[in-house]
Structure 1
Amino acid sequence: MGIPGYERRRAEIVHQTELLVSSLTDADLGIQVPSIPDWTLNQLLRHLGHAHRWADTMLRERLPEIDFSRNEAQRVSSYVGETPSVLVPWLREGAASLAEVLGEVDPEEMIAPVDGFPGPRVWSRRMTHETVIHRWDALNALGLPFTLDPEIAQDTLREWTGLALPYAFQRWPAETAPLAGTGTVHLHATDVEAEFVIDFSGQAPVVREGHEKASVAVRGPVVDVLLTVYRRRPVEGLEVFGDRELLDLVLDRVRF
């Protein structure tokens, strides 16, 4: 199973958004989101829609660097009392517009680049998995089942190792400092070909794909593994071999 390509990710932003909004019929958007307790479902949906629009704006204006001042995704406290009839069309519109502009730009163009990588490619992937994780947040809040295509799931896990993990070390150095010089963590999906070894022996984590012996190994279905590293579900139910204290430290200190 390969890594989803650019066109697949463009389509997936719309698809994942549609799966999300289809679960909102008659939903009470004022309920708390257990995985993000500071937000209501209303605010979570506004967060996601604003994230789509932020990426869209940077790509449409072909900004040479990321403009964080335009990101409204964290400023959602004022959104209360909204209904699905208001938010569903708004979410669909934002996802469709983002997919549209991703189809209009060159995937290799250095628009709003991330760590030296072309922005269109990075943002197509980032917004796909942003939508995946927040769809889970919403369905979990509503008590509804969550399923995810295995090809997308393994890419969500891969993106966590390549983007969320190093970001956590850059953004919260004091929190992640205790991990430096510890050991290795092996993430092993049992239902798809997705294995990652995270090496914490240096000052910053190094990720390798493949199977190798590690200080601690975590095995289970890919969706369960990715939800665990995203701190959406407990590690219980997964197979854990080796240094459980190291695993617990990683899950406690690495957030995104």
Structure 2
Amino acid sequence: MSILEREGRLLVAAAEEAGTGAKVPTCPGWQVTDLLRHTGAVHRWAAGFVAEGHGTGRPMDEPPGLDGAELLDWYREAHVHLVGTLRGAPADVACWYFLPAPSPLAFWARRQAHETAVHRFDAEAARGGAPSGIAGDFAADGVDELLRGFHARAKSRVRSAEPKVLRVRATDVDGAVWTVRLTQEPPAAERGETGDADCEVTGPASQLYLSLWNRVPFPAVSGDLSVAELWRETSGVG
């Protein structure tokens, strides 16, 4: 929970420095206004499941058409509300969630921490200057969520007519290796180094995290470069 709290504070601080009209280079077509509206709406949407115990999925509410200082305050309120809701919820709270997790509460805390961390990076990209760091263990967890969670779903567009194997290896976190099998079905990812790989991407966990979310280039790629390019072109999460 402390990571979610920190990332939200960094996000809104960077957004305020950048100005709500600034372009977000990591999200083509977006301004900081769009980033704040989106992330604030996601925070309120997530908090609603936990606070109200909704047992099925439901769409997000449209964010208000605020801008400038009013939008920054609206985002701050959404973030504080989310953190407070998660902290105050019972461990066995029952509600809808959409990726494998030990519990609904664990899912929403993890998902919102990563949602906020990636969009904090976006806000800092809009501001310019050096981005805040991402801890290796947290980044490795985010890679795991993306590969074994998001892209295991039928929604994933990462498909290959010819079977290929992508290996993802963090160089700074013990055991942070994934083998991803790409076919005409959703990607099948597992922890560990199993069998040969057609392509391998390697680097610090924080850089792999951001590159797999298409925020920065891959740190290093070896083998069949077309496999890495396939990921870049088709892995956007809608």
Matches within 5 A, 1:67-82: 67-68=58-59, 71-72=60-61, 75=62, 79=65, 82=67
Q: What CA distance in whole angstroms lies between the structure 2 residues aligned with 1:199 and 1:48?
A: 31
Tell me, yes or no, if the aligned pair for 1:42 and 1:79 is still in contact at 8 Å: no
Aligned residue in 2 for 1:112: 96
The alpha-carbon distance between structure 1 residues 25 and 116, as it changes in their structure 2 partners (threshold 3 A), is closer
Matches within 5 A, 1:78-157: 79=65, 82-83=67-68, 85-115=69-99, 117=101, 118-146=103-131, 147-157=133-143
Q: Would you identify which runs of 4 or more consecutive aligned residues in structure 1 move more than 6 Å?
A: none
Matches within 5 A, 1:141-220: 141-146=126-131, 147-167=133-153, 170-171=154-155, 175-177=157-159, 179=160, 181-193=162-174, 194-201=176-183, 203-212=185-194, 213-220=196-203
SS at the partner of 1:240? strand
108-117 vs 23-32, which deviates more? 108-117
Q: What CA distance in whole angstroms lies between the structure 1 residues aligned with 2:15 and 2:3?
A: 19
Q: What CA distance in whole angstroms lies between the structure 2 residues aligned with 1:243 and 1:32?
A: 34
Q: TM-score, normalised by structure 2?
A: 0.88
Number of residues paired by the alignment?
A: 233
Q: State the AA in 1 paired with 2:37.
A: R
> Where in structure 2 are there 5+ consecutive unaligned residues?
none
Aligned residue in 2 for 1:12: 3
> Where in structure 1 are there 5+ consecutive unaligned residues?
1-9
Q: Deviations over 1:87-127 (max 9, x none)?
A: 33332322222122222333343311325753222111111
Q: What CA distance in whole angstroms lies between the structure 1 residues aligned with 2:226 and 2:135?
A: 31
Q: State the AA in 1 paired with 2:172.
A: D
Aligned residue in 2 for 1:54: 45
Q: What CA distance in whole angstroms lies between the structure 2 residues aligned with 1:201 and 1:43?
A: 34
Tell me, yes or no, if the aligned pair for 1:12 and 1:128 is still in contact at 8 Å: yes
CA root-mean-square deviation: 2.2
